[in-house]
Amino acid sequence: MTILPASLPSVSVAGRTIAGDDLREAAGAVADRVAGAGVAAVEATASLETVVAVVGCLLAGVPVVPVPPDSGPREREHLLTDSGAELVLGGEASGAVPVDVAARSTSSWAEPAEGTALIMYTSGTTGPPKGAVLSRRAVAACLDGLRDAWAWTPDDTLVHGLPLFHVHGLVLGVLGALRAGSPLVHTGRPTPAAYAGAGGTLYFGVPTVWGRIAADPGAAAALRAARLLVSGSAALPAPVFDALAAGAGQGPVERYGMTETLITLAGRVDGPRHAGRVGVALPGVGTRLVGAGDDGIGELQVRGATLFDGYRNRPPALDADGWFDTGDSARETAEGWQLVGRTRDDLIKTGGYRLGAGEVEAALLDHPAVAECAVVGVADDDLGQRVVAYVVGIGDAVSGQTLIDHVATQLSVHKRPREVRFVASLPRNAMGKIQKSRLA
């Protein structure tokens, strides 16, 4: 199943706009360049170049690996090597292929109906990021389900300022708009002022963005003309929901998904809205709870049309019946699904990002002054969770800022600890496993 419609809408990113017909021809020039490649990486900056590059690869049938622009050298090398990327589009790295938004191609590219669309890397909790292989059929099924749930049509204008290397910003926020035929306005940065001045009907944000808008009465009031607000990537705090309901005239609908599953649960535009409820299953998605207790809480498993094909270069991730273990605890209520928390405690959600504690710990342990460390997420009113590192040092004293800066040179900047707490030892159980619950 193809993702892109025959006619594309206009796209604006950070004040630069390209018409739909020009987008297709510019993407055709990219397709001319990448045709025949096995996999292509794209420097996923918030830019028209990223949109043109991704669309061009889709037209040519070349799987795309979005690379975070702030990736550290170790992370970047892993993504390029593990994915088997044969070329890199955009950016200023040596050997990268430039993307010219002004280029035009007369080639008539017809997007393939089958095959891999994207390889998107997750933040693993115990090692390097894993490449989730997402098919065209899975992406199309997810976006069609959301078009139904949110009554998303070409009459809408979507506004968001989310990163273009994550499912939320790229799949929902770019490919979703293209598939729905609705113009896209990407604000470059998701500031309250930018959202307030965009004039959209449909807005995407993460809780950190919505919290800042809710705290700005003028920005919130400017969104009263919007048809629908959508929040995702982390749970929306009830006070933020209530403040938006008062200031913007509506609380957002929430949705739930993962890189591996895309969006599986979503609040409907015509359904109930309650903070902390992520709606119902999209068409074609099955849900079940494993090990549910008297309180109705169990481990959520999903299967269906939106799921990935598996991790690149790793064993199968689905069971024999196609179920995927999300690692999240949940309960089903009359108002929709409620996510209770991670079954595991090593995945941190901060400012709308998901990151694995193990990856940050590995970067910290690479510093000669660190003997042991444990990274946890601590509740934060602005970020949802902030990354805090507990460190057992070696020898001469080293500052927390030094270690924060060290991580920022190895990994994406958003993965750096916001705080370092030095301790004499880390709590462990009888098997020697660090007990993070005693730290958080």
Neighbours of 147 (CB within 10 A): 17
**Per residue in 59-77, pLDDT tens?**
999 999 999 998 888 889 9
**Per residue in 362-386, pLDDT tens?**
889 889 899 888 899 999 999 999 9
- The per-residue pLDDT of the chain, averaged, comes to 92
Higher pLDDT, 140 or 437: 140
**Per residue in 162-214, pLDDT tens?**
999 999 999 999 999 999 999 999 999 999 999 999 999 999 999 889 999 99
* Res. 431: pLDDT tops 50: no
- Work out the burial of residue 216: count CB atoms within 10 Å of its CB; fewer than 13 is exposed, 13-18 middle, 19 or more buried: middle
The distance from CA 9 to its chain's CA centroid, rounded to whole angstroms, is 23
Residues 6+ apart with CB under 8 A from 203: 158, 159, 160, 195, 223, 226, 228, 229, 230
What are the strands, taking DSSP E only, across 262-323? 262-266, 280-281, 285-290, 298-304, 310-311
3-state class of 385 per DSSP?
A: strand
* Res. 430: pLDDT tops 70: no
What percent of the chain lies above the pLDDT cut of 70? 96
Is residue 326 within 8 A of residue 301, CB to CB? The reply is: yes
pLDDT at position 342 is: 66
| Mean pLDDT computed over 87-94 | 86
pLDDT at position 124 is: 54
Q: Is the pTM of this model over 0.75?
A: yes
Which domains does the chain carry?
11-189 (3.40.50.12780), 253-342 (2.30.38.10), 347-438 (3.30.300.30)
Q: For residues 186 and 99, give the distance between their C-alpha atoms in angstroms, rounded to a whole number.
A: 19
Is residue 127 within 8 A of residue 161, CB to CB? The reply is: no
**Best CA proximity match to 36, nearest among 65, 67, 50, 57:** 57
